[in-house]
Chain A
Amino acid sequence: MATITLGIMDPPYESANTPTAFRLVEAAIRKGHNVNVFCYEGATALGYAGQKQHPNAVHGASLEEEDHPNPKDWVKALLAYAAEKQVKLVWCNCGLCVDERGVESQVEGVCRGSPVDAWKYCEASDGVILIGTE
């Protein structure tokens, strides 16, 4: 079992990098590895609890039919998946980035940290991936 640290920067609803990051985390958990996720800048909004589903008139879909996949639900699902697989998933936000964006209300299980925490996660990891933004 290895420990992996993954840095994410892109905000939700903006980039294909986000699903890629979630897929990497899911794959690592599935293979039994511990994962530290450090969200920096816009990525701190991924776990924002205020995200809401909506109907979609262009699709002709109700709220239930659209079943919009908000990333806060992906964060919750991955934290539950890690618990089920008995591996450790840390989902840590840059606290200052959270404050700047007013996204303090996060789903349960998400913590606050600093670049020093990110560095400590890296030091304690077998591998580090940073998916930077453009």
Chain B
Amino acid sequence: MARYLSIIDSAYRATIEEQDDTAVWFTHAMKNGGAEVSILLRGDAVNYAVTQQDAKGLRFGSRAVKGPDLVRDIKAVVEKKIPIYAVADDLAERGIVSTQLIPGVETLPRGAIAKLIEAHDRVLTW
């Protein structure tokens, strides 16, 4: 069975309407179907690994929006044993330190991405 790597760069694109990130969701659904998958967060998407984010409280007129819960979704990825990585250089550029990350998210330097890709058979770039 092929090993898949989802590289997620696009962040918070339609998360209010979808109530999640569609690339994280898709990858999780693949895992539920039996696929062997990993996730690499890079660029702005490294913020998905931050534990103290909160997008709740939005309302349009009388229609309250629960909003996405990325912390729930990333924790679910970790609990599902889907390996998840975040690029350390991208975290550092955004002032995010390791203590802010959801436990279970591994960091790796930008220079290690090529090796990570080598360890997978198919790469999905989102």
B95 CB-CB contact with A under 8 Å: no
B115 CB-CB contact with A under 8 Å: no
The contact string, 1 if C-beta is below 8 Å from chain A, for chain B 6-23, is 000000111111111000
The contact string, 1 if C-beta is below 8 Å from chain B, for chain A 66-108, is 1111110110111011001000000000000000000000000
Contact A58 B28 (CB under 8 A): yes
Count class of interface residues, chain B:
20 to 34
Q: Which residues of A contact B15 (CB under 8 A)?
A: 16
- State which residues 40-91 of B face A: CB under 8 Å: 58-63, 65-66, 72-73, 76
Q: Main SS of chain A's interface residues?
A: helix
Looking at the complex, which one of B32, B63, B73 makes contact with A57 (CB distance below 8 Å)?
Answer: B32
* CA gap between A74 and B62 in the complex, in Å: 9
The contact string, 1 if C-beta is below 8 Å from chain B, for chain A 4-29, is 00000000111110110011011001
A59 CB-CB contact with B under 8 Å: yes
Looking at the complex, which one of A14, A25, A58 makes contact with B13 (CB distance below 8 Å)?
Answer: A14
Contact B19 A58 (CB under 8 A): no
- A23, A56, A67, A69: most-surrounded residue (chain B CB, <10 A): A69
Contact B13 A69 (CB under 8 A): no
Looking at the complex, which one of B58, B61, B72 makes contact with A19 (CB distance below 8 Å)?
Answer: B58
Count class of interface residues, chain A:
20 to 34
- A59, A71, A73: most-surrounded residue (chain B CB, <10 A): A59
Looking at the complex, which one of A58, A69, A81 makes contact with B62 (CB distance below 8 Å)?
Answer: A81
Contact B66 A58 (CB under 8 A): no
Contact B13 A77 (CB under 8 A): no
B116 CB-CB contact with A under 8 Å: no
- State which residues 42-76 of A face B: CB under 8 Å: 56-59, 66-71, 73-74, 76
* 9 A-B pairs with C-beta separation under 8 A: A15-B13, A23-B58, A25-B60, A26-B59, A26-B61, A57-B29, A58-B29, A77-B63, A78-B61
Seed contacts A14-B13, A25-B60; 11 additional CB < 8 Å A-B pairs = A12-B17, A15-B13, A16-B12, A16-B13, A18-B14, A19-B58, A56-B20, A58-B25, A67-B66, A69-B16, A81-B62
Q: What 9 pairs across the A-B complex have the smallest Cβ distances?
A: A81-B61, A77-B61, A77-B63, A19-B16, A74-B60, A69-B65, A58-B28, A13-B17, A77-B60
Give B contacts to A, CB under 8 Å: 12-20, 25, 28-29, 32, 58-63, 65-66, 72-73, 76
